[in-house]
Structure 1
Amino acid sequence: MAPGRPRQATVVLLFGVLAFALSQTAVIPAIGSIAHDRQVTIDQATWVLTAYLISAAVLTPVLGRLSDLFGSRRLLIVTLALFTAGAATAAASSSIAGLVVGRGLQGVGGAILPICYSIVRGTIAEARRPVTIALLTGTMSAGGGIGLVLGGLIVDAGSYRWIFLLAVVMGAVTLAMVRVVVPALPASRGGRAGAAPALVTRTALATSVIALLSGYGLFTIFVVVPQLVTLPRGTGFGFGQPALAGALILLPGTIAMLAVAPITGRIAQRFAPKAPVVAGCAIAATGQLGLAARHDGLAEVAVWTVVGFVGLGQVLAALPNVILDSVPPHRVGEATAVNGFMRLVGGAVGSQAAAVLLAAATSNTSAWPGEAGFVRALLAGSAVCLVAVIVAGLIPRERTG
C-alpha cells in the first residue's frame, strides 16, 4: 500500500466493499414502500433490486478486465464515481423509471470487490495477503445480511430514500479516501481486451462452479429463513414474527461470516487455500440440512442459520485466495470478476428456485406455503453445497501465479 499507510488503505477498501454490499440488499425491505409510493405493482418495484443485480453481473467481468489493462486504482475511482452517481440519481428520482436507472448505475459497484483484489495482489505482502483478501470477502458476504436489517430499520424510521442517501455518503467518502491513501499501480502488460477469458484452467473452472453453487446456497437461506420466521403461527410451523425480526434472525449468521473471514485467511496461509473451501462447503451443506430437519423453535433456526453462514462465509472468503494463487498478476481482476459474476448468477438462481419451491407448496385453500416447500428448498440448497464439496476436491494444489 501507500508508504506508511497500509492499514488506512485496507480500511478504505473494506469501506468501499461494505458500501456496495449494504446497497445490494438494503433495498429489499423497502420494495413494498416503493411500490406504494410510486403507485406501481410489487413486481415493477422489484426492478430496483433486479436492475442492480443485472448491472453488477454484466459489468463486473468487463470492469475487472479493464482494471487489469488500465490500472486498478484508476478503475476503482471510476467505479466508485458511477456507484455514487447512481445512488444520487435514485435518491433524487420522482419516478420508478428514474429509480431503476439509478439502481442500474449503482450496480456498477459490483466491480469494486475484484478491483480491490487486484490492488491487494499488487501491494500487500504475500504473507499478509490471505487474511486481507478474506476480510474483503467476509465484508461483502456479511454486508448483504446487515443490509437487510439496516434497510428494515431505515424504512421503519422514515423514508426509504435514506437508503440511497447513505450510499451516496459512503461512496463519496470512499472515493475521496481512495485518492489519498491508495497507491497508483501500473497497468498490466500481459494482454489485450480481446484476449481469451479467464476461465482457461481447471482451478478457474472449479472456483467458478463453486462460486455459482455457494451463491445458490447463500440466497436460499436469505429467501427461506425470513419467510419461515414471519409466517403466521396458524400455519403450524411459522413463528408469526414481524418483518424486521425475519431480517434480524440472519444477523448472528452474517456477523459469524465476517468473524470467520480472518480465520479462513490464516487457515489458507498455513495449509492451502483449497482446505477451507472443501470444509466450508461441507459445513454449509450441514447447516441447511439441519434447518430442513430441525426448525421447531427460533433458537434452532438461528443456530442452524449460523452454521450455514459460517460454512458459506468460509467458502467465499477462501475462493479469491485460490484464484490469486492460480492466475498470473495480469489476470487477477478478470478472474476474480468472473468469479463474482458466477456468485451473483448463483444467488439469482438460488433465490428464484427457493421461491418456486415455496410457491409449489402453496395449496388452493391457503395463501401461505406449506412446510414441505421450506424443507425441499433447504434440502436443495444442502444438495447443491454437497456438489460443491466434490468440485472443491478437484482443485489442484499447484500455483501458477
Structure 2
Amino acid sequence: MESSPPAARPGGVVGILAFAGIVAALTQTLVVPLIAQLPTLFDTSASNASWVITATLLAAAVSTPVAGRLGDMYGKRRMLLVSLVPLILGSVVCALSSSVVPMIAGRGLQGLGMGVVPLGISLLRDVVPAEKLGPSIAIMSASMGVGGALGLPFAAAIAENTSWRVLFWVVAALALAVGALIRTLVPADRPAGRSGSFDLPGAIGLGSALIALLLAVSKGADWGWGSPTTLALFAAALVLLPAWGWWELRLRDPLVDLRVTARPQVLMTNTASVLVGFAMYAQSLVVPQLLQIPEATGYGLGQSMLAMGLWMAPAGLMMMAMSPVGAKLSAAKGPKVTLAVGSLLIAAGYGLSVPLIGSGSPWSLLIVTLVCNSGVGFAYGAMPALIMSAVPQSETASANSFNALMRSIGTSFAAAVIGVVLARMTTDFGGFPLASENGFRVAMLIGCGVGLAAAVVAALIPVRTTKAPLQPPAASSPAPETAPEAAPAAKA
C-alpha cells in the first residue's frame, strides 16, 4: 500500500480533483483553434492533420475502461497519478513536434490520460463524507465543462499572440501541478476487494472493437460511408463486440463486469449517457460555426476565433454554477429526477435555438448555450450518482469509467451525424459551400429530439433506494471513517 498524505479537508480534496478534471478537459479542446492551421504548420494534408484529434479520441476510449479496472484493483489515487504521466509526456512531445507524426503520437499519449475524470469521481466515494458526496460529484462532473469553456478562448488567445507550442507547455505544467497536489494532499483509498489478475485479452478485445467502431464513425465522412474501409471497420466492430462480451462473461475477474452493467439501473443510465453525450456535443459543433460564419450569409455572425471562444465560455462556467442546484435536487428527489430535468433543459435549449438562428445577435446563441449547459450540468452530476448507487464499492471506478466511455461514444456519433447534416445541407457563398441556415436548424432539431429521448430514458430508470451508507474497509489512509455506498438515497 502506498503511503498516504496527511488528511485534507473534503473541500480541498474536491477542489484538487476538480482542477484535475479541468486540466483533462482543457487538453481535449486545446487544438480546436489550431485545426485550420495544422496542415500549414506541419506541411501535411487536412486529412492527415485530422488525426491530431482522432488519435486523442481513440486513445481515450481504449484507456478509460482499463484505468477504471486498474483503479479498482490497485487504488484510484494511484491510478490518477499514473494517468497523469502520459498526459504530461504527450504534452511535451506535442510542444517539441515539428511534423505531424510526433504530434499525433503526443495527442495519443494525452488521450491515455483521459481516465482522470471518472477516476476522480470514483475516488470521491472513498475519501469524502457521505453528506458531501452528492455536491462533490456534481462539482467534479462540472469541471469538464469549465475546462472546455476556458480552453477555447485560452487556446485562441495564445495561438493568435504567441507560439502554439506554448499551449502544450502550459498543459504539461498544469498536469505536473495536479500530480503534486494529489500526491501531497489527497488521501489514498484502499482497493475495495477487487483482486485477481488483469484481463489483458479483454482489454485488447474491447480496445480493438472500440477503435474499429469509433474510427468508422469519426472518419466515415472523409472515407465515404459506403467505402470498403468504413464498412470493414463497422463489420469488425459487430464481430468483436459480441466476442468480447462472451469472453467477459466467462471470467471471474473481467475487465468490465457485464452482469453489473446489465442491471437495469446501470444499463438505463448508460443508455441515457450515450444520448446526453450526443446532445451535449451537437450544440458545441453548431454554435461555434454560426458565430464564425460571415455576416454576409444572412445568418452567420462573423466573429473571430477568440471572440467565438469568449461567447462560448459562459456556458461552460454555467455548468459549474448549476452543479450545487443539481446536487440539491438529487438530494431532495433523487439523481434520476435530476437526470430527467437536465435532459429536458438540454432539449429546451435546442428548441429555443430554432427561432433564434439568423437573429443576427450572438446574445441569442449565448442564451441557447446557457440553457443547454445548465441541463448538461444537471445530467453530468446525476449519472455518476446513479451508477455508484447501483454497483458494489469494488466496482466503482470500473463502472464510472464505462459510463464515461458511453458518453464518449455519444459525442462521437454526434460528430458524425451533425457532420453529415451540415455537409449535405449547404449553400454557395462566393464559390465555396457553407452549411446552410436550414442545415443548422435541422441539426438543432436533432439535438432537441435526442435530449427528449434522454429524458424519457431517465424517467424509466428503475432506481433502488439505498438504506444506509456503507462503511469502507479499514485503510491505512486517514480517509473519513464513513464512505457512502451510494449517492444520496434516490426516490424511486
Alignment TM class, shorter chain as reference? over 0.9
Deviation at 1:118, TM superposition (A): 2.1
Tell me the equivalent position of 1:334.
Answer: 398
| Aligned-pair CA distance for 1:234 | 1.9
Query: Is this contact kept in 1: 2:261–2:399, CA < 8 A?
Result: yes
Q: Which residue in the other structure is 2:375 paired with? A: 311
Match of 1:394 in 2: 460
Q: Which has the larger radius of gyration?
A: 2
Q: Determine if the alignment matches structure 1 residue 181 to structure 2 residue 180.
A: no
Partner residue of 1:234 out of 282, 296, 301:
296
Amino acid at match of 2:281: F
Partner amino acid for 1:36? T
Q: 2:346 matched to 1:268?
A: no
Deviation at 1:243, TM superposition (A): 2.2
C-alpha deviation, 1:283, in angstroms = 0.7
1:76 is aligned to 2:80: yes
How far is the alpha carbon of 1:366 from its aligned partner?
4.8
How far residue 54 of structure 1 moved from its aligned partner, in angstroms, is 1.2
Deviation of the 1:268 alpha carbon: 1.1
For 1:330 and 1:337, the matched residues in 2 are separated by 13
AA at the equivalent of 2:146: A
CA distance in 1, matches of 2:291, 2:378: 25
Greater Cα offset, 155-164 or 127-136: 155-164
2:261 alignment partner in structure 1? 199
1-side partners of 2:145 and 2:413: how far apart? 17
For 1:361-372, what aligned pairs fall within 5 Å after superposition? Answer: 361-363=425-427, 366-372=432-438
The 2-side partners of 1:73 and 1:117 are apart by: 11
Alpha-carbon spacing, 1:392–1:2, altered in 2? closer, same or farther (3 Å):
farther
Contact 1:358–1:374 (Cα < 8 Å) also in 2: yes
Post-superposition offset of 1:339: 0.8
Aligned equivalents of 1:241, 1:186: Cα separation in 2: 50
Secondary structure class of the residue paired with 2:109: helix
Matched, 1:353 2:357: no
RMSD over aligned Cα atoms: 1.6
Confirm or deny that 1:160 pairs with 2:164. yes
Instruction: Find the counterpart in structure 1 of residue 201 from structure 2.
Output: none
Match for residue 383 of structure 1 among 419, 424, 449? 449
Task: Provide the secondary structure at the position in 2 that maps to 1:367.
Answer: strand
Alpha-carbon distance in 2 for matches of 1:4, 1:215: 33
Pick which of 86-95 and 123-132 moved more.
Answer: 86-95
Say which is worse superposed, 376-385 or 89-98, in terms of deviation.
89-98
Identity of aligned residues (%): 31
> Which moved further from structure 2: 146-155 or 122-131?
146-155
Deviations 1:346-384 (A, max 9, x none): 111112211211111114665211111000100001101
Equivalent residue in structure 2 for 1:123, among 121, 124, 127: 127
Aligned residues, how many?
401
Matched to 1:215, the amino acid is G
Is 1:87 matched up with 2:149? no
Q: Is the 8 A contact 2:121 2:141 kept in 1?
A: no
Distance in 2, Cα, partners of 1:18 & 1:3: 23
1 or 2, which has the higher helix percentage?
Answer: 1
Of 266, 284, 287, which aligns to 1:225? 287
Indicate the SS of the match to 1:368.
Answer: strand
Instruction: Measure, in 1, the Cα distance between the counterparts of 2:464 and 2:185.
Output: 34
Matched, 1:48 2:56: no
- Which residue number corresponds to residue 21 of structure 2? 17
Letter in 1 for 2:164: Y
Cα offset, 1:293, TM superposition: 2.3
Which residue of 28, 34, 43 corresponds with 2:32?
A: 28
2:59–2:111 Cα contact (<8 Å) kept? yes
User: Which residue in 1 is equivalent to 2:230?
Assistant: none
Verify the 8 A CA contact 2:8 2:186 in the aligned structure 1.
Answer: no
Q: 1-side partners of 2:419 and 2:62: how far apart? A: 23
- Cα distance change of structure 1 residues 109 and 335 upon mapping to structure 2, 3 Å threshold: same
| Cα pair 1:274 1:392 within 8 Å, conserved | yes
Task: For 1:40 and 1:260, locate their aligned partners in 2 and report how far apart those are by CA, in whole Å.
Answer: 43
Q: Is the 8 A contact 2:90 2:110 kept in 1?
A: yes
Contact in 2 for aligned 1:23/1:163 (Cα 8 Å):
no
Alignment partner for residue 139 of structure 1, among 131, 137, 143? 143
Structure 1: gaps of 5 or more residues: none
User: Which residue identity does 2:273 align to in structure 1?
Assistant: A
Is the Cα–Cα contact under 8 Å of residues 265 and 463 in structure 2 kept in the other structure? no
CA-to-aligned-CA distance 1:154-185 (integer Å, 9 cap, x gap): 11111111111111001111111211111222
Moved more, 292-301 or 173-182: 292-301
For 1:298-352, what per-residue CA distance to the aligned partner results, in whole angstroms no more than 9, with x for missing partners? 2212112211111112111211111121111111101110111111111111122
Task: Choose 184-193 or 328-337, whichever is displaced more.
Answer: 184-193
Render the CA deviation track for 1:240-265: whole Å, top value 9, x for unaligned. 22222222221121111111112211
Q: What TM-score do the two structures reach when normalised by structure 2?
A: 0.79
1:178-229 Cα offsets, whole Å, 9 max, x none, are 1111122212314544332342211111111111111111111111001111
Q: Distance between the aligned counterparts of 1:290 and 1:57, measured in 2?
A: 32
Q: Are 1:33 and 1:160, in contact at CA under 8 Å, matched by a contact in 2?
A: no
Alignment check: 8 A CA contact 2:149 2:314 kept: no
